[in-house]
C-alpha cells in the first residue's frame, strides 16, 4: 500500500508559516509538521496544532540558523556573541569537525528543546532537524537516545537530481547528505526506530511545485514516502524574515492543489503522518 507524508518544516518559526500549515491541513493533504522549540511563533503553532486533530507534530531539532532555548552562557560553543545559533549548517559543520562544538552542550540544548515541546502536552510523532543536522555522527546518537520513546525519524535520503542542479558543490552536498542519511537510518533501525521507505522534496532550496507533486504521485514507490516542505503565505515577508529566497507560497499551493488531491484519490494513496508508520 502506498502512503505519503507531507511534512511542513519550521512550524513555529513565523505566524505566516503556522497559517500555511493550518490551511494546508484544512484544505489540502498536509498531515504532518515539525515544531521549532525556539521559534518566535511557538505558542501560536501549539494552538494551531491543538485545533488541527489531523495534524501529527514532530520536533524540528535546531542547532543552526535559529534561537536556542538555553541561556547562551550554558552553551557557548553553539552560539555567536549575540546569543544566536550560527548562521547555517556549513558554519556549524566547520566548527563541529574542527572540534569547536561541545557534544555535552548539544545534548543539553536538544534536551531543553524536547522538554519545552513536551510541556505543551502535544504527543510527538517523530523527530527531524533544521538543515538535516540530525544525520551528523555523534548528533544522531544523542537524538536517538533523547527521543527513545518517540521511535520515528526522518531519513533525508536526498535524490541527487531532483530540481535544478546549479553547481558541482550542490551535487556533492546532496551526495553527502544521502550518504549520511543511510548511516543514520542504520543506527535508527538498530534502536527500533521506524522511518519512511522513501524521501522526497528538494533539499537545495527550490520549492516543491504542483508539477513536482503530480510527477511524484504518478511514480510513487510502495510503502511510505515523506515529502519535505516549507509552506508559507507571504513570500516577501517570509523571505526577509528567514533570510532565505524560497517560494513558500508555491509549496502551499502544491499541497492544496485540486489536481494533486484528485490524483491522490485516483491512485488510492493515503495522506498520513508519522504515527501511521507504527501501524504498518
**Nearest Cα to 162, choosing from 207, 201, 199?**
201
Q: Where do we find the cell 541527487?
A: 160
Q: DSSP string covering 53-111, please?
A: TT-EEEEEE-SSSS--SS-GGG-GGGB-TTSSBPSSHHHHHHHHHTT-S-HHHHHHHHH
- Category of 62 on φ-ψ map: left (φ > 0), alpha (ψ -120 to 50) or beta: beta
Beta bridge partners of 249: none
Percent of the chain with pLDDT over 70: 91
Contact between 208 and 229 under an 8 Å Cβ cutoff? The reply is yes
pLDDT, tens only, 177-212: 788 999 999 999 999 999 999 999 865 557 899 999
pLDDT, tens only, 12-53: 999 999 999 999 999 999 999 999 999 999 999 999 999 999
What is 2-279's CATH superfamily?
Answer: Glycoside hydrolase/deacetylase (3.20.20.370)
- Confidence label for 169 from pLDDT (cuts 50, 70 and 90): very low
Task: State the DSSP code for 234.
Answer: -
Q: What is the pLDDT of residue 168?
A: 43
Q: What is the pLDDT of residue 157?
A: 80
pLDDT surpasses 90 at 115: yes
Contact between 200 and 225 under an 8 Å Cβ cutoff? The reply is yes
pLDDT, tens only, 221-273: 999 999 999 999 999 999 999 999 999 999 999 999 999 999 999 999 999 99
Q: What's the pTM value of the predicted model, to 2 decimals?
A: 0.93
Contact between 262 and 277 under an 8 Å Cβ cutoff? The reply is no
Q: What is the pLDDT of residue 245?
A: 92
Amino acid at each position: 500500500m502506498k502512503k505519503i507524508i507531507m511534512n511542513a518544516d519550521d512550524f513555529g518559526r513565523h505566524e505566516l508559516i503556522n497559517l500555511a500549515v493550518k490551511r494546508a491541513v484544512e484544505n489540502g493533504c498536509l498531515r504532518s509538521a515539525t515544531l521549532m522549540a525556539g521559534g518566535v511563533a511557538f505558542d501560536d503553532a501549539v494552538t494551531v496544532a491543538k485545533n488541527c486533530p489531523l495534524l501529527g507534530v514532530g520536533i524540528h531539532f535546531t542547532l543552526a540558523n535559529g534561537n536556542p532555548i538555553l541561556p547562551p552562557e550554558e552553551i557557548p560553543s553553539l552560539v555567536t556573541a549575540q546569543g544566536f545559533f550560527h548562521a547555517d549548517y556549513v558554519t556549524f559543520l566547520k566548527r563541529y569537525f574542527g572540534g569547536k562544538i561541545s557534544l555535552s552542550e548539544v545534548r543539553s540544548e536538544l534536551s531543553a528543546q524536547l522538554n519545552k515541546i513536551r510541556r505543551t502536552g502535544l504527543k510527538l510523532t517523530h523527530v527531524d532537524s533544521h538543515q538535516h543536522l540530525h544525520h551528523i555522527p555523534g548528533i544522531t546518537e544523542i537524538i536517538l537516545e533523547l527521543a527513545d520513546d518517540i521511535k520515528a525519524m526522518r531519513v533525508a535520503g536526498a535524490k541527487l537530481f531532483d530540481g535544478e542542479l546549479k553547481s558541482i558543490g550542490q551535487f556533492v552536498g546532496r551526495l553527502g547528505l544521502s550518504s549520511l542519511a543511510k548511516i543514520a537510518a542504520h543506527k535508527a533501525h538498530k534502536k527500533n526506530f521506524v522511518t519512511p521507505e522513501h524521501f522526497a522534496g528538494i533539499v537545495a532550496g527550490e520549492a516543491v511545485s504542483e508539477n513536482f507533486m503530480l510527477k511524484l504521485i504518478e511514480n510513487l514507490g510502495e510503502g511510505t514516502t515523506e515529502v519535505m516542505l516549507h509552506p508559507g503565505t507571504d513570500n516577501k515577508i517570509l523571505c526577509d524574515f528567514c533570510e532565505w529566497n524560497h517560494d513558500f507560497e508555491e509549496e502551499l499551493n502544491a499541497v492544496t492543489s485540486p489536481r494533486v488531491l484528485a490524483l491522490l484519490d485516483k491512485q488510492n494513496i493515503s495522506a498520513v503522518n508519522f504515527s501511521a508508520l507504527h501501524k504498518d
